[in-house]
Amino acid sequence: MDILERRTTNICYKKIDLLSYTNELLEKVVTGTYLKWIRYAPETYNMAYKHLFYEPPVHSFKWYHHVFAKKMEHLVKEENPDLIICTHGFPSYLLSQLKAKGKCDVPIINVYTDFFINNLWGKEEIDFHFLPSEEVKKGLRAQSEIPLQNMMVTGIPVHEEITKTRTFKHPGNRNILIAGGSSGLGNIMDFYNDLKDARHFHYFVLCGKNQKLYEEIKGWELQHVTPIPYISSRTEMNELYERVDAIVTKPGGITVSEALRKNLPIFVHSALPGQEEVNLRYLTERNLVQELKADQSLESQLQAVLQDADKMSTLYNAIAAYHKEIEAQTPEELLAVVNWILGEKQTIGLHA
């Protein structure tokens, strides 16, 4: 949305959360239930996610149509948009159902924010697809009748203030960023405790809104461990990426994509059930991340990779191969697709 706003003057943009639009209390209940479910019963959540959204086809949610489909239909009529961009599978599914029934004729773009497509996303009725990788593009093509010219590998889009200007650092790899503990979820506290005895690297721990974690680490008073509170500025986040030589995180699509954009070695300390576990499988198969073992020290595992020239070469080659797949390398190319869909065929830079 920011990419488009910076480059256009005659388009009005609006961001809407469907759950909040439907019912603010419902949004709070759903969010709270999700967080508690993955915290206290991750195995059952993982089973439910795979059963409902990943392995079998999913079009049997009759109750969706009673509440959400009507709300979505009302929303489209109320806003009367020229283009809808979906960054979540649920709205995409509802809109594709409305289009199939002739109740919506608005062009729609799916922008995928994981390294796979679960079965909740609408597909054939969607006008254009911004895809995370060539592998996902081939898979979508094999499963559907979507024309190739309606698909483009963009990677998972990240804010352009996360720049690509970072160059490879000199040998040494001394600064490590640890992220992913802001919600208190994920199996990460054992790694944090490892930092007390670590001495080889300097660790920047991104605590997010987890004030308790920030105060605890600050109380250690260790020179080689720096806790960092919530960062709202993307410019500041980009500067932090510039200061470090590797990142330890969870396999969320956005954070991993930002790290890949910065050519940072990525180590995964844990994965939440559901989407992150599927992401992790893809990323490890492509050698884009190194999965850390809970029964080994964090520092020894970092050293084993960061101080091994062959492993680092393999890692950087994998990142380079990933970037080479991306067909839309600039914001202008994404804008060209939007203009093309809106009917401005004279734009340049469109990859068919």
More confident of the two residues 215 and 173: 215
pLDDT at 26 > cutoff 60: no
Distance CA 169, CA 315 (A): 14
Per-residue pLDDT averaged across 306-335, rounded?
Answer: 93
Which pLDDT belongs to residue 134? Answer: 95
Q: Which CATH architecture is the domain 175-325 placed in? A: 3-Layer(aba) Sandwich (3.40)
More confident of the two residues 208 and 139: 139
User: What are the tens digits of pLDDT across the range 234-285?
Assistant: 999 999 999 999 999 999 899 999 999 999 999 998 888 788 888 999 999 9
Which pLDDT belongs to residue 196? Answer: 86
Would you list the domain boundaries of the chain? 2-155+326-341, 175-325
Per-residue pLDDT averaged across 141-146, rounded?
Answer: 90
Q: How far apart are the first and last CA of the chain?
A: 22
User: What are the tens digits of pLDDT across the range 102-128?
Assistant: 999 999 999 999 999 988 899 989 999
pTM of the model: 0.84
Per-residue pLDDT averaged across 187-209, rounded?
Answer: 82
Q: Write down how long the chain is.
A: 352
pLDDT at 36 > cutoff 80: no
More confident of the two residues 227 and 27: 227
Which pLDDT belongs to residue 156? Answer: 94
Query: Do 2-155+326-341 and 175-325 have matching folds?
Result: yes
Which pLDDT belongs to residue 132? Answer: 96
In which band, very low, low, confident or very high, does the pLDDT at 35 lie, cut at 50, 70 and 90? low
More confident of the two residues 102 and 21: 102
In which band, very low, low, confident or very high, does the pLDDT at 348 lie, cut at 50, 70 and 90? very low
Which pLDDT belongs to residue 351? Answer: 34
Pick the CATH number of 2-155+326-341 from 1.10.3470, 2.60.40, 1.10.357, 3.40.50: 3.40.50
Which pLDDT belongs to residue 346? Answer: 40
Q: What is the mean pLDDT of the chain?
A: 83
The fraction of the chain above a pLDDT of 90, given in percent, is 51
pLDDT at 66 > cutoff 60: yes
